[in-house]
Amino acid sequence: MTTHDVEIAIVGAGFSGLGAAVKAQENSFDDYLVLDRGTDFGGTWRDNTYPGAACDVPSHLYSYSFALNPDWTRSYSHQEEIHRYINAVADSHGIGDKTWFGTEVTRARWDSDADRWIVDVDRDGTAVQVRARHLVGGIGPLCEPNLPDIDGIGAFGGKIIHSARWDHDYDFAGKRVAVIGTGASAIQLVPHLAEAAGHLEVYQRTAPWIIPRTERPYLPAENWAFKHVPGLQNLIRGSIYTANEVVAAGMTYAPKALKPVEALCRANIFKGIRDPELRAKVTPTFAVGCKRILKSNDWYPALDRPNVDLVTTGIDRITAEAIVTADGVEHPVDAIVVATGFHVTDSPVFETIHGADGRSLARVWDEIGMQAYKGTFVHGFPNMTLLIGPSTGLGHTSMVYMIESQLNYLVDYLEKTKAEGIVRTDVRLDVQKKYNADLQDKLKRSVWVTGGCSSWYKDAHGDITTLWPGFTFDFRNATRRFDIAAYDVVRGARTPKKTTEPASVTS
Ligand code: NAP
């Protein structure tokens, strides 16, 4: 088997993995390698190409602070433009030269004798072993599509498409189509399918709260100003950021303060739907903010179309040609679109990462819950940093801000451990436990706990382990410096730097 030695292995070439590569390079940690199973940069923004895929965070904030883009064409960007942006950032920093695409990590394990990560990869069908001092997980929580566990789904004889793996060759024109799910992806794709399909049934288990989307194209004069007026883009970023943090305060500390948002959502329903019965069906029964607050102007009008039915009776099973609801009614369909989200707290990737005692991340988190220290380091998994790790997700603002906070922490960790000759860094279990107990304590008052909904924000233990409870600037402050006292460290002689050519050995 071929082996390849690097100082830093970065898994994933999406927003977080690419950011890690750029920051490593900028800070003279040039010996890195990015591994990604796809064909280019973009992660979730490469994979989610369903019609209408777009971001619900304004463009100026949903971008790296170190790569502002004056050329955004709209106030909210669509998938293709974000995908192009991410690839342009990669190109301008030359990250592609140190990236292996078509490369799937099959297993990663910590080698305590060598103080290195042994990362087994499948590179276009060839097994390669990458050995790295540091492992950076930029795998993202939205990468493994979740197929609903519905009786008979495997036997469906028509077309099944997951929103994150769109089949652009399938022609929906005139077909009988069902969409399962009414989350962030479904509300974007349904209005498009409603136009193409002969008949569309939308299966809603839980109605989401939806505010209007204030999207518009930018005028040429605005793009000119973004490019030429010093500080303008940062001013816009700052104002969007500040407005969003007000929502964070409501979600975390005072859910009742979100009542005006609920009023806005109710007005959106009233405006978009004429039928009082349908209005009642789409009105959520939990507190606004408990699940992600969605943004759309065309979801309610789509549901109000004559060729669209909203089905709120639960799905009992799926047969070769129909969906059968709990009331025994058969709904014949040609195609089923599953917009049922991702394996966030139970990603199969967690099974493939094995720490110092040989246990997988999945097993460890099964036992103690999905936890990390500062969303980044996990006890028992030395020298591994997770980007968008546990308790870093957001329901109100840009994940790129959180990623950049973690990148500060990552760079400071790399610098401090290098300066002090540290070869092994493992967060102390007592520190990790206390950190997470404090987070859970803080969450008690939050809308995610008190709001009366069930959501993927919770792990198998019923704890909210995906979200950051508070202001994002608090997370930025917490990750500004690598706090070495929180870690058990081992100092030692560093392995001499490898030559640029990978060594080949047979196993
Ligand atoms: P999601 O928010 O998890 O929504 C999944 C939907 O499928 C929910 O309506 C869920 O119902 C339903 N569902 C799941 N399993 C089901 C089953 N067995 N039977 C019936 N219904 C079922 O997934 P998503 O819409 O793909 O979005 C995932 C995340 O991606 C979002 O939260 C967001 O973070 C991100 N996203 C962001 C954007 C953006 O604009 N930035 C756009 C798309 C996605 P319940 O609610 O009852 O569970």
Q: Which long-range contacts (CB under 8 A, 24 or more apart) does 234-241 make?
A: 234/68, 236/60, 237/60, 237/61, 237/65, 237/68, 240/58, 240/60, 240/61, 241/61, 241/397, 241/398, 241/401
Q: 3-class DSSP state for residue 431?
A: helix
User: pTM for the complete prediction?
Assistant: 0.95
| pLDDT tens digits, one per residue of 346-368 | 899 999 999 999 999 999 999 99
**Pocket lining: 294 vs ligand 1, CB cutoff 6 Å:** no
| Res. 238: pLDDT tops 70 | yes
**Pocket lining: 292 vs ligand 1, CB cutoff 6 Å:** yes
| Res. 216: pLDDT tops 70 | yes
Distances (CA, A) of 185 to 159, 190, 296, 475, 497: 19, 9, 11, 27, 46
Instruction: Tell me 499's DSSP state.
Output: P
Angle (deg, nearest 10), helices 15-26 and 79-93? 20
Contact between residue 384 and residue 353 where contact means Cβ atoms under 8 Å apart: yes
* Ligand 1 centroid distance, CA of 2 (Å): 41
* Ligand 1 centroid distance, CA of 290 (Å): 13
Name the β-bridge partners of 310. 202
| Res. 494: pLDDT tops 80 | no
Cα(65)–Cα(107) distance, rounded to whole angstroms?
Answer: 33
* Ligand 1 centroid distance, CA of 341 (Å): 4
Name the β-bridge partners of 338. 162, 180
Give 3-state DSSP helix, strand, coil % of the chain, rounded to 5.
35, 20, 45
What per-residue confidence (pLDDT) applies to 496?
44
**Pocket lining: 319 vs ligand 1, CB cutoff 6 Å:** no
* Ligand 1 centroid distance, CA of 142 (Å): 10
Whose CA is closest to atom 35 on ligand 1?
Answer: 184
| Res. 506: pLDDT tops 60 | no
Which band of pLDDT confidence, cut at 50, 70 and 90, is reported for residue 436? very high
> What number does the ligand 1 atom closest to the CA of 164 have?
26
> What number does the ligand 1 atom closest to the CA of 62 have?
41
| pLDDT tens digits, one per residue of 84-109 | 999 999 999 999 999 999 999 999 99
Please give the single-letter amino acid code of residue 126.
Answer: T
**Pocket lining: 206 vs ligand 1, CB cutoff 6 Å:** yes
Overall average pLDDT of the 293-305 stretch: 96
Overall average pLDDT of the 113-140 stretch: 97
What per-residue confidence (pLDDT) applies to 108?
98
Name the β-bridge partners of 160. 336
Cα(63)–Cα(85) distance, rounded to whole angstroms?
Answer: 8
Average pLDDT, the chain: 95
| pLDDT tens digits, one per residue of 364-383 | 999 999 999 999 999 999 99
| pLDDT tens digits, one per residue of 44-97 | 999 999 999 999 999 999 999 999 999 999 999 999 999 999 999 999 999 999
Is the four-CA dihedral 489, 493, 497, 498 of positive or negative sign? negative
* Ligand 1 centroid distance, CA of 260 (Å): 24
Which domains can be identified in the chain, with CATH numbers?
Answer: 2-144+343-491 (3.50.50.60), 153-208+292-338 (3.50.50.60)
Please give the single-letter amino acid code of residue 6.
Answer: V
* Ligand 1 centroid distance, CA of 168 (Å): 21
| pLDDT tens digits, one per residue of 165-192 | 999 999 999 999 999 999 999 999 999 9
| Res. 497: pLDDT tops 70 | no
**Pocket lining: 299 vs ligand 1, CB cutoff 6 Å:** no
Residue partners of 163: CB distance under 8 A and separation at least 6 = 48, 50, 145, 181, 185, 186, 189, 337, 338, 339
| pLDDT tens digits, one per residue of 191-204 | 999 999 999 999 99
Of 22, 7, 4, 3, residue with least CA distance to 387: 22
Residue partners of 422: CB distance under 8 A and separation at least 6 = 416, 489, 490, 491
**Pocket lining: 55 vs ligand 1, CB cutoff 6 Å:** yes
> What number does the ligand 1 atom closest to the CA of 150 have?
18
Contact between residue 448 and residue 457 where contact means Cβ atoms under 8 Å apart: yes
* Ligand 1 centroid distance, CA of 339 (Å): 6
Whose CA is closest to atom 12 on ligand 1?
Answer: 181
